Structure 1
Amino acid sequence: MSKFLIHPSYFPSIATFAVFAQKDIVWEAHDNFQKQTYRNRCYICTDQGKHMLNIPIKHVGGNEGRQKYREVQLDHSANWLKQHWRTLETAYRTSPFFEYYEDDLKPLFETEAQSLFEFNLSTIQVVSDCLGIEFPRTQTSNFEMSPNEFKDVRFLVNAKKPFVEQFPEYTQVFAERHGFLSNLSILDLLFNEGTNAAPYLHNLSLNFLDA
């Protein structure tokens, strides 16, 4: 069975987590960091609609500002951890399963991690534990533009590419106000569906991988 090459991202999208649930994953660990990707952002639903949570990072100069993803450091000069947690609380406090999982998730927002790459892996591991999905641990040892050994699904980290696949609807907190919003962060599915989230991921069509 072929392995799927993918980026660790910040509380990944439902599409990305469906790949984790159904496939054998290898983390891309040697690429360059790129802006406007899910490496440091995710989308949730608040009372105002679709809302982006963005992690500030420390930018470096040098070679056109390029740096390896795994070397990117988090910028804690603004208290984004507290802001992100407060936003999640406000958005999902009335959801069926927020209180059930908050003790698992809150510690992520109480420690100032330094590495974006490692922090993202931590968010994925905690959610994987909540869902009962095995956390992938294998990482690449070098960068390949066109890998032969793996199925390349690194495009899932691209936040600028429109995601046209419409997933089966589930109950969302603000659906009456904004309609169903597809492929938000895995947190939206977790807080709204709880123990039903894992079967949802396992049963989700992965046709988008061939788009």
Structure 2
Amino acid sequence: MDNHLILPAFYLPPIAYFSILNGSSLPILLEGQEHYPKQTYRNRTSVYSANGKLDLIVPVQHGNVGHIKMKDVRISYDAEWQRLHWMSLQTAYRSSAYFEYYEDDFRPFYQRRHEWLFDYNTAQLELLLRLLKIDRPTGYTESYRENYEPATDFRQVIHPKKAHTSYIAKPYYQVFENKHGFIPGLSIVDLLFNHGPQSKGYL
């Protein structure tokens, strides 16, 4: 497994995630066997709204969530988060150059219910890889390993509360940058909706 990139399954992952992925030719293994860690990008993403950075959080079913495997975490539908997330994406990016171009690809994720967070995230990742034209074999861990080669293990590298020191975001055009300036660390969809087919070149 040390000849794979070991990555977590994030919700609409940040740009740094794809910078790591695009910078390597190794096949991907998505980590589904880890104990689900709270307050990470596994169930949240950040986009650029008219009011600045906006966090979108996928609610999960409560219980002893910190002691179950990522692949066994269920999404909660007690609140209408799908409608709210889709409205937020539309409001944030309706005026971007490529939102309408990709809109039909993303809409089903906010209409159809997925039971498992891991499956939801991996389905989105498959779409994003296709849209970015990143052709990479993707598999799944079959058991949990605490240690991999440091050069291939990126499970803990990207976190909402920690700076990713090996990745420095280069500014690119954002819809509301005239209001709040360039905001780094956002979801890949911020780049994709603003720059479309040129996004891979940025990575």
Separation in 2, partners of 1:7, 1:123:
13
- SS of match in other structure, 1:18: helix
Task: Tell me by how many angstroms 1:183 deviates.
Answer: 2.3
Give yes or no for contact 2:97–2:195 (8 Å, CA) kept in 1. yes
Q: For residues 105-141 of structure 1, what are the alpha-carbon distances to aligned partners after superposition, in whole Å with 9 as ceiling and x for unaligned?
A: 1111110100000000011111112111125421111
Matched, 1:77 2:54: no
Distance in 1 between residues matched to 2:13 and 2:136, nearest whole Å: 13
Aligned to 1:128: 129
Partner Cα distance (1:55, 1:42) in 2: 9
Distance in structure 1 (CA, Å) of the matches to 2:149 and 2:157: 18
Q: Which residue of 1 aligns with 2:60?
A: 57
CA distance, structure 2, for counterparts of residue 81 and residue 135 of structure 1: 29
| Aligned positions, number | 199
For residues 38 and 65 of structure 1, the distance between their equivalents in structure 2, rounded to whole angstroms, comes to 15
Give 1:16's aligned amino acid. Y
List structure 1 segments (4+ residues) > 4 angstroms apart after TM superposition. Answer: none
**Residue correspondence of structure 1 range 95-114 to structure 2 within 5 A:** 95-114=96-115
Q: TM-score, normalising length from structure 2?
A: 0.92
Q: Where does residue 146 of structure 2 map in the other structure?
A: 145
Task: For residue 168 of structure 1, report the CA deviation from its aligned partner.
Answer: 1.4
Q: Distance in 1 between matches of 2:80 and 2:36?
A: 22
Matched, 1:199 2:201: yes
CA contact (8 A) 1:39 1:157 kept: no
CA distance in 2, matches of 1:181, 1:196: 19
Q: 1:149 to 1:53 in 2, by over 3 A?
A: closer
* 1:22 CA drift (Å): 2.7
Gaps of 5+ in 1: 202-211
One of 37, 42, 50 as aligned partner of 1:39: 42
1:42-78 CA distances to partner (integer Å, 9 max, x unpaired)?
Answer: 00100010110000000123xx851111000000111
Residue 155 of structure 1 corresponds to which residue in structure 2? 156
Cα distance in 1 for partners of 2:115, 2:130 equals: 22
Partners of 1:135 and 1:12 in 2: how far apart?
16
Pick closer, same or farther for the CA change 1:68–1:132 going to 2, 3 Å.
same
Tell whether the 8 Å contact from 2:29 to 2:139 is kept in structure 1 after alignment.
yes
Q: What is the deviation of 1:196?
A: 0.5
Match of 2:20 in 1: 19
* Deviation by residue 1:149-182 (Cα, 9 ceiling, x = unmatched): 9721111342221345431111100001111111
What amino acid maps onto 1:55 in structure 2? V
Partners of 2:124 and 2:130 in 1: how far apart?
Answer: 10
- Identity across matched positions, percent: 35
Q: For residues 138 and 47 of structure 1, do their structure 2 counterparts lie closer, same or farther at Cα, with a shift above 3 Å needed?
A: same
Name the SS for the 2:108 alignment partner: helix
Distance across 2 between alignment mates of 1:110 and 1:2: 37
TM-score when normalising by structure 1: 0.88
